[in-house]
């Protein structure tokens, strides 16, 4: 059995990655589209063989309520629209998968979680790497302490982001920390398996580059975990693509580079005997993520990355931003 999905927002991620990922899905099928551009949406519907009446506008999104073939909506809109469209999705009686970062504020995250509870529907945040075998292997090794106790974690996520792009708008997406720095934050939390208690952060916003008029170009930040693990990370919108992490343990290290990309992840494990490259089968991360949510809904199980997981990252983001503003260490509350 396959559950029916509606994709909300037909931007780059939806068109290039998510829609093609349904082809290999076991439990998920594409049924409907929700878009601000009806002509584009009808063209896309034709390509994927959808019934033209299953194309909705943002304004009549709630009409999904009357479409029993749609079980789940997947919100792939600018971050500033995540909360509104998640809550409207619940009102339409659907389960919701929402892209990261969950929302620009802690308050919105809380309201999204509450709305799901009120509706009796599930909320999952789209952390695709949690449904990807190599990152899952790294998590398992760290939980079992296969390389001894963890001491430090380091991660970088940088890329060149040029205008026009929602990521350069303070309102729509809010800059590199929530967009790509979040991968470092999420990885630190899933690798360490704890919640950070305090953070420090620094931001750089060049005054002579038009694209960084509204948002910082980059951040460097540290997180302190209860067991004493220290994590240091950086993210930037002005340097060549790099997406990696390394976990330093008493008896060795795990290195993943790239760690956050859609494909081609590479993991090396260092022990006293030497360093080995892990051979782990690659999956389509979007197929795997969507099928995991369909399976959670079908079996009435909590998703592995529920709203609370998105909220936890947003709390860390807010603390790093506060530290960068104040120049002080900030507690994560
Ligand atoms: P995009 O700019 O390519 O697409 C955004 C979509 O929202 C477009 O269809 C656009 O028409 C629509 N939209 C509606 N109202 C808009 C408005 N007022 N301004 C601008 N666009 C508006 O962005 P994207 O790269 O597809 O990102 C969308 C979401 O997906 C973001 O939340 C982003 O963080 C997330 N994302 C996640 C991953 C991942 O790997 N999980 C990768 C890329 C993006």
Q: What is the CA radius of gyration of the chain?
A: 20
Q: Which of 101, 166, 181 to mutate to test the pocket of ligand 1 (most atoms within 8 A of CB)?
A: 166
Could you tell me the mean pLDDT of each successive run of 10 residues in the chain, 333 residues long? 98 98 98 98 98 97 97 98 98 98 98 98 98 98 98 98 98 97 99 98 97 98 98 98 98 98 98 97 98 98 98 98 98 96
Tell me the CA–centroid distance for residue 65 and ligand 1, in Å: 24
pLDDT computed for residue 37 by the predictor: 97
- What's the burial of 245, exposed, middle or buried (CB within 10 Å: 0-12/13-18/19+)? buried
Nearest CA to ligand 1 atom 42: 13
ipTM over 0.85: yes
Tell me the CA–centroid distance for residue 172 and ligand 1, in Å: 9
In whole angstroms, give the CA distance from residue 319 to residue 330: 6
pLDDT computed for residue 45 by the predictor: 98
pLDDT computed for residue 199 by the predictor: 99
CATH number of 3-128+286-302: 3.40.50.720
Q: Is the dihedral of CA 19, 287, 16, 211 positive or negative?
A: positive
pLDDT computed for residue 294 by the predictor: 99
Q: Domain 133-280+314-331: state its class.
A: alpha beta
Nearest CA to ligand 1 atom 14: 77
User: pTM for the full model?
Assistant: 0.98
pLDDT computed for residue 280 by the predictor: 96
Ramachandran region, residue 49 (left: φ > 0; alpha: ψ -120 to 50; beta: rest): left
> Does residue 34 sit in helix, strand or coil?
strand
Tell me the CA–centroid distance for residue 76 and ligand 1, in Å: 6
**Ligand 1 lining (C-beta closer than 6 Å):** 9-14, 36, 76-79, 99-100, 126, 128, 166, 172, 179
- Per residue, the 3-state secondary structure of 71-98, as one string, reads CEEEECCCHHHHHHHHHHHHHCCCEEEE
> Catalytic amino acids?
100, 183
pLDDT computed for residue 200 by the predictor: 98
Tell me the CA–centroid distance for residue 165 and ligand 1, in Å: 9
pLDDT computed for residue 21 by the predictor: 98
Q: Where are the domains of the chain?
A: 3-128+286-302, 133-280+314-331
pLDDT computed for residue 77 by the predictor: 98
pLDDT computed for residue 203 by the predictor: 98
């Amino acid at each position: 059995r396959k559950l029916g999905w509606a994709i909300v927002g037909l931007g780059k991620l939806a068109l290039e990655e998510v829609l093609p990922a349904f082809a290999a899905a076991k439990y998920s099928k594409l049924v409907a589209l929700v878009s601000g551009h009806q002509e584009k949406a009808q063209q896309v519907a034709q390509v994927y063989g959808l019934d033209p009446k299953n194309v909705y506008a943002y304004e009549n999104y709630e009409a999904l309520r009357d479409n029993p073939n749609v079980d789940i909506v997947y919100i792939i809109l600018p971050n500033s629209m995540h909360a509104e469209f998640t809550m409207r999705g619940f009102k339409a009686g659907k389960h919701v998968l929402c892209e990261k970062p969950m929302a620009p504020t802690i308050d919105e995250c809380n309201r999204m979680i509450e709305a799901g509870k009120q509706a009796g529907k599930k909320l999952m945040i789209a952390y695709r790497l949690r449904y990807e075998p190599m990152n899952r292997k790294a998590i398992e090794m760290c939980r079992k302490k296969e390389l001894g106790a963890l001491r430090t974690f380091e991660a970088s996520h940088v890329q060149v982001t040029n205008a026009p792009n929602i990521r350069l708008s303070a309102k729509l997406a809010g800059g590199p920390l929530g967009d790509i720095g979040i991968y470092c934050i999420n990885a630190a939390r899933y690798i360490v398996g704890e919640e950070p208690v305090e953070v420090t952060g620094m931001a750089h916003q060049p005054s002579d580059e038009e694209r960084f008029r509204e948002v910082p170009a980059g951040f460097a930040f540290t997180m302190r975990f209860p067991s004493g693990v220290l994590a240091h990370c950086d993210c930037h919108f002005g340097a060549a693509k790099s997406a990696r992490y390394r976990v330093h343990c008493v008896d060795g290290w795990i290195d993943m580079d790239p760690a956050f990309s859609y494909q081609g992840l590479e993991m090396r494990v260092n022990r006293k005997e030497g360093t080995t490259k892990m051979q782990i089968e690659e999956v389509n991360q979007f197929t795997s993520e969507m099928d995991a949510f369909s399976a959670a809904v079908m079996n009435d199980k909590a998703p592995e990355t529920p709203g609370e997981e998105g909220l936890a990252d947003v709390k860390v983001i807010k603390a790093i931003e506060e530290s960068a503003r104040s120049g002080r260490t900030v507690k994560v509350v």
